[in-house]
A and B are shown apart, each in its own frame.
Chain A
Amino acid sequence: MGFKHIGKDVQYRPDVLERVTGEAIFIDDIKLPGMLYAQILRPKYAHAKILSIDTVEAEKMPGVYKVITGKGWEKHYGDCIKDMMPMVVDKVRHIGDALAAVVADTEKHARDALKKIRVEYEPFPVCTDAMEAIKENAYLIHENSDEYFHVSPLYEPIPKTNIAVHYRIKKGDAVKGFKEADVVVEREFNFPLMSSAAIEVHGAIALFRMDDTIEIWTSNVGAFAVREEVANLFDLPISDVRVHMPYIGGCFGYKSDPSLGPLIAYIASFVPGHPIKLRVSRQEDFTSTFLGRGIRTKMKIGAKKDGTFTAMEAKLYLSTGAYADTGSNVLIVATQSAGGVYEFSNADVTGYSVYTNTPPVGALRAYGHPEIQFALERLVDIVARELDMSPTDVRKKNFLSVGKSNVVGETMKKSDGDLYKCIDNVERAIFSKERPEEDENYYYGRGIAGLIKSPKAPTFAAKGCHIKFNVDGSVSVNMSGADVGQGLFVLVRQITAEALKMPLEKVRVYNEIDTQFSPWEWQTVGSMFTFQGGNAIIKAANKAIEMLKKNAALVLHRDVNVLEYDGNYVYDRSYPDVKVLVSRICRGYIMKDGTTIGDVVQVSSDFRLPGAQNPDPETGMGRTGVSYTMGVQGCELRIEKKTGKVIIDNFATSIDIGRVINPSNARGQVVGGVVMSIGETLMEEIKFDKNGKLINANLLQYKLPTIYDMPGKQTIEFVETHDEIGPFGARGIGEHPMVGVAPAILNAIYDAIGYDFYEIPVTPDKIKAVIGGDTEAR
């Protein structure tokens, strides 16, 4: 297929000039007339009953308009589990909860007044780990979790325990499968809590108007989700809430946190007529928005002598945090992904989402997938060792491919990807030369891991697209996908231009999302935009072309079926001279006497994952993924003997993404994702003290990777097995590069020093403890 714009490096993203000059408007750049500032009081304890909150002194402070608490509020909110409130009422459950707020003329005045609020607490025992919170005698974090609204039985808790959600997948007969195995290996793994930590912190502004409508500006990537949540909270028609989404300074999942919208709206409801702005501090960005990951896994694999896997059993424990609405989805996704890129005819996987006294867990780039595939891909290496097979051979023996079925029982299609091509690419990049022998300064190692990901979202999640033809034949496209830096706007431009056979310059893409004008979409998460958004564009473009042809038929006196469209003209296929300019018919056609015929060409469309279903309540299986993307990652690394530092010389990624729409941006996603994941593998971890305080909630102690942590080189090869449904055969790539990094590195570390790590981050200290013979830090 010859494309004009697809697969080409269109580096000039429509938004790049604004971003590179500092002109782009992010949430904190918005100032509105009459705007006031809110600051939030966070509790002293991570788990306590609130006995009293005294705000009298705070109210007298300079500049203060209002001091607000949750007192008297009754309504809970949440998408799948309604266990949250805009502000806490009688109990705090984690150190970042919203206890009280001050609204003042400046941020500083609001902060000063916070210090005058007096709170009396009755502290309760604190529990920050699922393994503790799940114990029978554990202190309950939500006493009556069964009384909350749950969207379906899948989200029901076990009453009088801290278990918010439990989900089991049973495929085949695992007991029998293990009996057939020649080798059975079992290990425990830990993927700790971490933060998306975008460089832009969260922020929001809310305005309660006199007519009871609410207007919100937010850094949240789900403008429509915020709108629904806030409307429900205040019993308003959804149409009375209007949400704006400006430019977003990086998302990585946590900017889908639903809590800031309800919080700022609640605060603003006490000060109608004033826009109220809340920009959280970097510390609050850690303590009071989503964290990610936090899953412990116990996994067991059985295999025959020839390497064929016979069964897999896994138990997953998510420390879901103080509220389980979003974390429970992370847990469900992780459970569904337990089989990774391999076929297991027999599997028994159970996941528990457990309330803990930490900030709630939510989406973090590829959520659910890296956690479990970290365990799986490490264990597969250990199985290979037991069988005396090479790690690549065991993998090839069990890879999913056309006709095989994954853990939830979905049969793989050709377009889900070609793992054999991917592993070939990675083998060529990483394993084609001999591994260097240990020398005076370094140990050398190489490792590999498979990866699989599907978009995970409610079955109804869709993307919308509005296309409007202008009278000069240019088009305006409105959608609601957030460009958080991944290059979404240029992708919209490329796909629209391709579908409408136009030059890129004639396509103008939106750069602000406004629920009053933008078409509905669920949220920009799950690497779904290319697939769903791209298809929504093509559907809209086709509708527009149909309309143009109908208009042309009236003008040219031809049957619609004989007409063709080429971007400039609609013409008769057999007599190309019989034609009319698109610009003459896109607002209808004006005849000599002024009479106008035909329709104005502005169209609307949408696209969702076709046929996605909820899992079967009995077996936990079903069409829950629908569209898969698979790949392989691997690396060559060195470990410095003196320091224990891991130096990655080459990191290879090969993923089958159907079709590459924009090579430079696709590479950018992988390069950035791999480095982000190197961060979680080697340095990042949210740490708590025994009272549930985050002890490293700042960018000095919570180390993000710097330029010194980037691999010596990244080898990236995309495989392009045409996707029958994807737009021009394409699927997304935003999150996938995160999935195989940690196991590939830890497998390589084993290769280098012969030591198995089961937990990340693997810091230099931990390695030194191993190679230096000191066992303490293990």
Chain B
Amino acid sequence: MKNITLMLNGKKETIYFEEGDTLLYVLRDRIGLMGTKFGCGYGACGACTVVINGEAVRSCKVLFKTLEGADILTIEGLTEGKKLHPIQQAFVDANAVQCGFCTPGIVMELYALFSKEPDASDDRIKEVLSKHLCRCTGYESIFTAAKLVQKTESYSKQDKKDFERAAKLAREYIKE
């Protein structure tokens, strides 16, 4: 088994894996972070979406061995203690969670979007959401949740700064 070192949910981790492992497989089957979901295995559903270096990525399509030094955020890294992340809170408030199987992936997708474009247009929001399949909600409530996030003051201003600071720290931490 090989290993690489990277940032996972804000912590520096050295993780063992085998040659062909995808990031999704490592998260779920090797280290037991079960919040990231398997829906297809080939990039069609978005259930496995995580944030890598600030970008929303389908973890089922990424080979783990390419991730040396990367900064990875999964749904488990979003909550602080018992406090939901504003995006998660918006999903609860908009009743945008039915079975919840697509939810972690979509939340991470929006996290990446709003970190860079807190004022993303409706079209832009729809564009990123169109890469995700949800069989339950008919998308209406998910779109409402996304709009709700933008209305949440604390998110659009402060969280972006938080995120950038964290990402910068992470990069420095890994370099040393």
Residues of A within 8 A of B (CB): 11-13, 15-26, 28-29, 31, 196-201, 247-250, 252, 279, 281-282, 484-487, 664-665, 668, 671-676, 698-700, 704-708, 710, 714
Contact = CB atoms under 8 A, between A and B. Distances in A.
Contacts of A487: 98
Interface stretch (B33-41, B61-69, B151-159, B161-169): B33-41
A716 to B, nearest CB: 10
B135 A22 contact: no
Contact of A282 (B40, B135, B140): B40
Contacts of B38: 28, 201, 279
A281 B44 CA distance: 13
Given A21-B88, A699-B44, A699-B45, A31 B99 contact: no
Interface of A is mostly: loop
Contacts of A13: 97
Interface stretch (B51-59, B111-119, B125-133): B125-133
21 contacts: A11-B93, A15-B100, A21-B78, A22-B37, A22-B76, A28-B28, A28-B34, A249-B100, A250-B101, A487-B98, A668-B138, A671-B140, A671-B141, A672-B135, A672-B137, A698-B42, A699-B44, A704-B135, A705-B138, A707-B130, A708-B126
A201 B39 CA distance: 7
Contacts of B40: 282, 698-699
A18 B142 CA distance: 17
Contacts of B7: none
A252 B141 CA distance: 19
Nearest to A706: B130
Contact of A16 (B34, B92, B137): B92
A282 B126 CA distance: 25
A281 B139 CA distance: 25
Given A250-B136, A698-B40, A198 B97 contact: no
Nearest to A651: B138
B143 interface: yes
A674 B130 CA distance: 18
A201 to B, nearest CB: 7
A21, A281, A487: most-surrounded residue (chain B CB, <10 A): A21
> Main SS of chain B's interface residues?
loop
A664 B98 CA distance: 11
Contact of A704 (B98, B126, B133): B133
A17 B45 CA distance: 22
B45 to A, nearest CB: 6
A20 B78 CA distance: 11
B92 A710 contact: no
Contacts, number: 158
B135 A199 contact: yes
A486 B98 contact: yes
B86 to A, nearest CB: 12
B46 to A, nearest CB: 9
A250 B42 contact: no
A20 B133 CA distance: 16
Contact of B35 (A15, A23, A196, A485): A23
A199 B37 contact: yes
A471 B103 CA distance: 37
Nearest to B47: A199
Nearest to B133: A704
Contacts of A699: 39-40, 42, 44-45, 133
A664 B144 CA distance: 13
A250 B78 CA distance: 24
A664 B103 CA distance: 18
A698 B35 contact: no
Given A21-B78, A484-B99, A710-B140, 17 more contacts: A19-B100, A22-B76, A24-B100, A29-B34, A249-B99, A249-B100, A250-B99, A279-B38, A281-B41, A485-B100, A665-B95, A668-B137, A672-B138, A675-B138, A707-B132, A707-B143, A710-B139
A745 to B, nearest CB: 15
B79 interface: yes
Nearest to A709: B139
Contacts of A21: 35, 75-76, 78-79, 84, 88
In the complex, which of the residues B75, B137, B142 has the most CB atoms of chain A within 10 Å of its own CB atom?
B137
Contacts of A247: 99-100
B107 A20 contact: yes
B142 A707 contact: yes
B6 interface: no
A281 B41 CA distance: 8
Nearest to A200: B101
Contacts of A282: 39-42
Nearest to A673: B138
Contact of B102 (A196, A199, A665): A199
A349 B76 CA distance: 55
Contacts of A704: 133, 135
Given A676-B135, A710-B138, A20 B99 contact: no
Nearest to A198: B135
A668 B142 contact: no
Contacts of B101: 26, 198-200, 249-250, 485
Contacts of B91: 20
B65 to A, nearest CB: 16
Nearest to A486: B98
A20 B126 contact: no
Given A200-B37, A200-B39, A485-B99, A17 B92 contact: yes
A29 B139 CA distance: 25
Contacts of B98: 250, 485-487, 668, 672
Pairs A-B, 10 closest by C-beta atoms: A22-B35, A19-B100, A485-B99, A249-B101, A485-B98, A675-B138, A699-B44, A22-B75, A29-B34, A672-B138
A20 B100 contact: yes
B134 interface: yes
B28 to A, nearest CB: 8
A26 B28 CA distance: 12
A28 B129 CA distance: 25
B141 A199 contact: no
B16 to A, nearest CB: 14
A575 B41 CA distance: 68
A710 B103 CA distance: 18
A486 B93 CA distance: 16
Contacts of B137: 668, 671-672
Contact of B103 (A19, A281, A700): A19
A486 B137 CA distance: 9
A250 B130 contact: no
B97 A16 contact: yes
Contacts of A252: 135
Given A22-B76, A200-B39, A250 B95 contact: no
B30 to A, nearest CB: 11
Interface centre among A11, A12, A22, A487 (most CB of B within 10 A): A22
B92 A199 contact: no
A113 B100 CA distance: 34
Contacts of A23: 35
Contacts of A705: 138
A31 B32 contact: yes
A18 B82 CA distance: 11
A676 B44 CA distance: 17
B136 A20 contact: no
